[in-house]
């Protein structure tokens, strides 16, 4: 029986999703594939239904963003789920390797793989940060300990996913993984990076970088307010804003943050001290990061 399923979210990327599904449904890992279509208007859902009848399809009436993953995971019956974007492809054996690690280490909540960017297959700029993560972890952990994930590169224990409630309905999309990861860590789940779990990324050109930046800034600041002690909120908040362009997208993000303050402050739950310690250790590499820039 399958140990791991694949959940893909998509919206208006029919051609790229077709290529992704052709790859994912032909893998020797033979993982069940679920597609949550976020209300596409380009015939994406019809393409999936017509060309990939073995894929479980969810036709969502509206764009739920990352929450579409929650909808699909509700129907997953395997103990593990690998998230996949419509522009990422897990390589042969990667799903099996991630499941093996989750089998072997019951305290492991997620495994994030090594990302190679097409067409040249250079490592994604975030990879050195994951490989050299300074977060302290137990001796049994099979790779560097993490306090954040990239959803399209990550396999998650389904019981842990459900324990934290999946992805926040408030965050929608864009950095939504940070809050999810902190909630996993706060509940005692460990996350790690695995060099031999390989995923390829062929970045889609069908995106609005300014809107994505607005969401990323908003969600980063909301997560700070929701889970970090006040000194960290102000310290990291200043650093985030210093790295962002002074333009309308950034201004809109700040307005979004202000509008969300009533629910954010009533939902505030600071992470345990050991998690905050790891987050403090991450601040220096984050300041020097070439992958964490709010541009576009």
CA gap 183, 191 in Å, rounded: 11
Are 193 and 216 contained in the same domain?
no
Same domain, yes or no: 193 and 241: no
Whether 78 and 114 share a structural domain: yes
Asked if residue 233 and residue 184 are part of one domain, the reply reads no
**Could you tell me if 218 and 150 lie in one domain?**
no
pLDDT value at position 6? 98
Quick check: is 295 in a domain?
no
103 with 167, same domain: the answer is yes
> What DSSP assignment string belongs to 266-285?
HT--PPPHHHHHHHHHHHHH
Q: Do 26 and 148 sit in the same domain of this protein?
A: yes
Residue reference for tokens 């699909």: 72
Residues 124-141: what's their mean pLDDT? Answer: 96
Instruction: Write down the pLDDT at residue 296.
Output: 46
Q: Which two tokens stand for residue 214?
A: 């607005």
- Give the Å distances, CA to CA, from 223 to 83, 101, 153, 280: 21, 29, 21, 15
Q: Is residue 167 part of a domain?
A: yes
Backbone angles phi, psi at 253, to 5 degrees: -60, -45
User: Please, are residues 91 and 199 in contact by the beta-carbon 8 Å criterion?
Assistant: yes
91 domain residue, yes or no: yes
φ and ψ at residue 207, rounded to 5 degrees: -150, 160
User: Per this entry, what is the length of the chain?
Assistant: 296
Q: What is the pTM of this model?
A: 0.95
> Distance between CA atoms of 269 and 4, rounded to whole angstroms?
31
- The pLDDT-based confidence of 208 (bands split at 50, 70, 90) is confident
What is the distance between the alpha carbons of residues 10 and 38, in angstroms, rounded to a whole number? 6
Domain's final residue, options 183, 201, 219: 201
Are 111 and 170 members of one domain?
yes
Q: How confident is the model at residue 204 (pLDDT cuts 50, 70, 90)?
A: confident
Give the mean pLDDT of 220-249.
96
Residue 187 lies in a domain: yes
Q: What is the pLDDT of residue 1?
A: 85
**13 with 159, same domain?**
yes
Strand partners for 36: 9, 58
Domain range enclosing 278 = 209-288
Beta bridge partners of residue 41, listed in sequence order: none
What's the burial of 150, exposed, middle or buried (CB within 10 Å: 0-12/13-18/19+)? Answer: buried
The number of folded domains in the chain is 2
Task: Verify that 18 and 54 share a domain, yes or no.
Answer: yes
Question: Looking up tokens 């995923």, which residue turns up?
Answer: 199
In a domain, 268, yes or no: yes
Section 44-50 average pLDDT: 98
| 109 strand-pairing partners | none
pLDDT digits (tens, 9 = 90+) for 61-96: 999 999 999 999 999 999 999 999 999 999 999 999
Of the residues 201, 220, 242, the one at which a domain ends: 201
Mean local confidence (pLDDT), 154-175? 97
Average pLDDT over residues 122-132: 95
Q: What is the pLDDT of residue 292?
A: 58
- 253-296 pLDDT, tens digit each: 999 999 999 999 999 999 999 999 999 999 999 888 877 565 54
Q: Are 44 and 10 in contact (CB under 8 A)?
A: yes
Distances (CA, A) of 172 to 71, 118, 167, 212, 288: 13, 27, 8, 11, 27
Which residue is it, tokens 């929701």?
226
From 201, 223, 245, the end of a domain falls on 201
CATH number, position 93: 3.90.550.10
Q: Is residue 24 part of a domain?
A: yes
The verdict on residue 76 lying in a domain is yes
Are 64 and 178 in the same domain? yes
The token pair at 59 is: 């036709």
Mean pLDDT, range 113-129, rounded to an integer: 96
Please check whether residue 294 lies inside any domain of the structure.
no
Q: What is the residue-averaged pLDDT of the chain? A: 96
Same domain, 171 and 259: no
Share of the chain above pLDDT 70, in %: 98
């Amino acid at each position: 029986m399958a140990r791991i399923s694949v959940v893909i979210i998509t919206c208006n990327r029919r051609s790229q999703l077709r290529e992704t599904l052709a790859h994912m449904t032909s893998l020797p890992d033979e993982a069940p594939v679920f597609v949550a279509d976020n209300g596409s208007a380009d015939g994406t859902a019809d393409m999936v239904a017509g060309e990939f009848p073995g894929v479980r399809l969810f036709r969502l009436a509206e764009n739920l963003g990352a929450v579409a993953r929650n909808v699909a995971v509700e129907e997953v019956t395997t103990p593990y789920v690998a998230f996949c974007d419509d522009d990422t492809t897990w390589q042969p054996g990667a799903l099996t390797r991630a499941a093996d690690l989750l089998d072997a280490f019951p305290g492991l909540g997620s495994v994030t793989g090594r990302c190679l960017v097409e067409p040249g297959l250079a490592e994604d700029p975030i990879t050195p940060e994951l490989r050299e993560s300074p977060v302290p972890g137990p001796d049994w952990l099979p790779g560097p300990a993490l306090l954040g994930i990239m959803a399209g590169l990550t396999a998650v224990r389904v019981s842990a996913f459900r324990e934290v409630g999946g992805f926040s309905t408030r965050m929608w999309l864009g950095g939504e993984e940070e809050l999810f990861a902190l909630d996993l860590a706060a509940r005692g789940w460990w996350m790690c990076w695995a060099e031999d779990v390989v995923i390829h990324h062929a970045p889609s050109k069908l995106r609005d970088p300014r809107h994505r930046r607005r969401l990323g800034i908003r969600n980063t600041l909301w997560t700070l307010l929701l889970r970090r002690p006040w000194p960290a909120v102000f310290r990291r908040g200043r650093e985030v804003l210093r790295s962002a362009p002074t333009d309308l997208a950034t201004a809109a993000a700040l307005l979004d943050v202000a509008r969300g303050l009533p629910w954010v402050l009533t939902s505030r739950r600071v992470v345990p001290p050991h998690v905050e310690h790891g987050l403090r250790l991450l601040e220096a590499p984050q300041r020097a990061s070439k992958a964490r820039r709010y541009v576009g």
